[in-house]
Structure 1
Amino acid sequence: MKKGINQWCFPPGTPLEKVLKVSAEAGFHTVELNLYAAGGVGLTMDTTPAEARKTGELVRSYGLSISSLSTEMLGKFPLSSPDPLIRAKGVHSISKQIHLAAELGVDTILIVPGRVCPDASYEEVWQRSRAELAPLVKEAEDTGVHLAVENVWNKFLWSPLEMVRYIDEFASPFVCAYFDVGNTLAFGLPEQWIKTLGSRIKKVHVKDFKTGVGNYQGFVPLLSGDVNWTAVRAALEETGFDDSLTAELDAYSQFPDQLIYDTARHIDVIIGSKPH
């Protein structure tokens, strides 16, 4: 397995060149870049194909590859919204991700299908998000870019069996799972989710979580929470997963670059490599 780091692990506004320089110096192999609204750092909704290719060249100049693309846009424009105009903006952001990924030679984009809230019931999130994603599957297949659905704290896809059903009903190998280890621990055991999702897992996010805290403040640096990393690694190996473990953590409040170096060593321990 390879070591990956998400752009969000750096403080907001960190220049992309610094993200890449520190990530490379810390020993990471891959980075996950985020798609931002216009005016953001790095890839944005205004990024042209030529600019995307230049970004790819910049990443490679640091000896790194791009594992996948995440986005902040679906948080603003969820596919589950009752407002069709908001859903349309979400669809547009996914299409933008797909085409930027194709320009960059990236095989996967992260998808959050929606969130359960007072104006979107569980059934409505299921129906609306599937209806909006369905036309994008052909676009993904044509470009060779996978749509990886992530398990997040959105009150949706509470069990691995539901996630399997949600993915499989698209009947396409280009719809798969982006499994987040730490997000699962509040209501399940990640090693069990991994075994159920199996080969559907295309990408993996790693963070740790203290179940005794039980809320967002329970997310902590790797190896300092309650994830059974030995069991997680064994389950991933059993499924044949051999891609990046991509860290998705909040930046330290002081000396934020240190998080990147600490996390690289922590992932070394998790995957059984000799720490740098």
Structure 2
Amino acid sequence: MHTACLERRNDMILPSTFIFKGGIEGETSMEHIIDVLKKSNINFFEAGFTQSGAISMESTPASLENVLKLLKQNKMKIMAMSTTLLSGQEFWTLSGTLNMQVVQIVKKMIDVASFLEIPYISMHCSDEKNMQFVGYKEAVQNEMNFFTALSDYAQKRDVIICLENSISGILCYPNDVLSFIEKINSPALKVCLDTGNSIYSGMPERWISCLKDRIQIVHFSDVKIRRLRGIITEFVEPGKGLIDFQKVYKQLMDHGFAGWVVLESFGRANQDDQEVVATLLDRFQYIK
């Protein structure tokens, strides 16, 4: 994974570029991200894959070469990549064929990850709408065919796809994800656990005890429950919601976790990026 020449500080922590002001739209420059992280003594991070920007659908070999050069000059490395571009996308058409826009997004992510020597990308499966057209069994089989092909594509490029749990989807529960991954049986398909998403299907502890060392990436996201009998929830900055992250971290370590913890939040217009990063790192300083 080309990390031998880098000193690994804050061993498991990857700040996400989504926490930066404008990060979710790709409006934050790589120079600014690197400058902020270096001041916080961080040299590994997760990149958000966006529609436009330094690491995006618009990236070219020439622009990526500039990013790679900048990273190496600053002894920085991107260890994982995630995206919001698949949110709300229909993976399948009414006739049961793949949405080619989804295919283009994922393959572009894999290609960019391979170019930048990023070992992991995370993505979720399709949502439950697909079952309205073809039924559960066929929807799962369609998804299995899709991820088998993607895993083959990724493996040839030295990239690992981490299947991320989502709030709603055809694979909502940890046992379903475990069975799905075991049937595909590819070294290029692992798991990304999103702690905030997991509360809708059993809390993080249930996912960890089931999937164990298949979890390579953990997104530390958080959820706050509002009134109306706990039905209304909102995602908040990690550490400001209901999830006990120290408990989650201990359970991960008890199961031999050796992957990366991503601090996932979304930047606000008036924030001070340096202060946000410093606050998050201080909050999770027990992660070593």
For normalisation by structure 1, the TM-score amounts to 0.86
Alpha-carbon distance in 1 for matches of 2:247, 2:276: 24
Alpha-carbon spacing, 1:18–1:141, altered in 2? closer, same or farther (3 Å): same
| 1:2 Cα offset (Å) | 2.0
2:182 to 134, 152, 168: 168
Alpha-carbon spacing, 1:187–1:211, altered in 2? closer, same or farther (3 Å): farther
2:283 to 253, 266, 270: 266
| 1:133 Cα offset (Å) | 2.4
Alpha-carbon distance in 2 for matches of 1:216, 1:80: 29
Alpha-carbon spacing, 1:260–1:222, altered in 2? closer, same or farther (3 Å): same
Partner of 2:73: 61
Alpha-carbon spacing, 1:233–1:261, altered in 2? closer, same or farther (3 Å): same
Alpha-carbon distance in 1 for matches of 2:59, 2:166: 27
Letter in 2 for 1:266: R
Which runs of structure 1 show a deviation greater than 4 angstroms over 4 or more consecutive aligned residues? 83-86, 118-125, 212-217
Preserved contact between residue 166 and residue 172 of structure 2 (Cα < 8 Å) = no
Preserved contact between residue 194 and residue 218 of structure 2 (Cα < 8 Å) = yes
| 1:180 Cα offset (Å) | 0.9
| 1:48 Cα offset (Å) | 2.2
Alpha-carbon distance in 2 for matches of 1:67, 1:266: 21
| 1:249 Cα offset (Å) | 0.6
Partner of 2:49: 35
1:198 to 173, 193, 212: 212
1:219 to 219, 229, 235: 235
Partner of 1:239: 255
Preserved contact between residue 163 and residue 189 of structure 2 (Cα < 8 Å) = yes
Alpha-carbon distance in 1 for matches of 2:139, 2:69: 38
| 1:89 Cα offset (Å) | 1.7
Alpha-carbon spacing, 1:81–1:204, altered in 2? closer, same or farther (3 Å): farther
| 1:19 Cα offset (Å) | 2.0
Instruction: Report how many aligned residue pairs link the two structures.
Output: 269
SS at match of 2:111: helix
1:133 to 137, 147, 151: 147
Q: Deviations over 1:176-219 (max 9, x none)?
A: 10111122123322122112111111111112222456578532
Alpha-carbon distance in 1 for matches of 2:245, 2:224: 13
Letter in 1 for 2:35: K
User: Is there any run of 5+ residues in structure 2 with no aligned partner, and where?
Assistant: 1-10
Alpha-carbon distance in 1 for matches of 2:171, 2:77: 30
User: Is there any run of 5+ residues in structure 1 with no aligned partner, and where?
Assistant: none
Q: Deviations over 1:144-201 (max 9, x none)?
A: 2111110122344221111111221211121110111122123322122112111111
Give the CA RMSD over aligned residues: 2.5
2:21 to 11, 32, 53: 11
Alpha-carbon distance in 1 for matches of 2:43, 2:208: 23
Q: In percent, how many aligned pairs have the same letter?
A: 22
Preserved contact between residue 245 and residue 267 of structure 1 (Cα < 8 Å) = no
Letter in 1 for 2:283: H
Alpha-carbon distance in 2 for matches of 1:247, 1:215: 25
SS at match of 1:173: coil
Letter in 2 for 1:152: S
1:74 to 60, 83, 86: 86
2:36 to 18, 22, 39: 22
Alpha-carbon spacing, 1:131–1:183, altered in 2? closer, same or farther (3 Å): same
Letter in 1 for 2:218: V
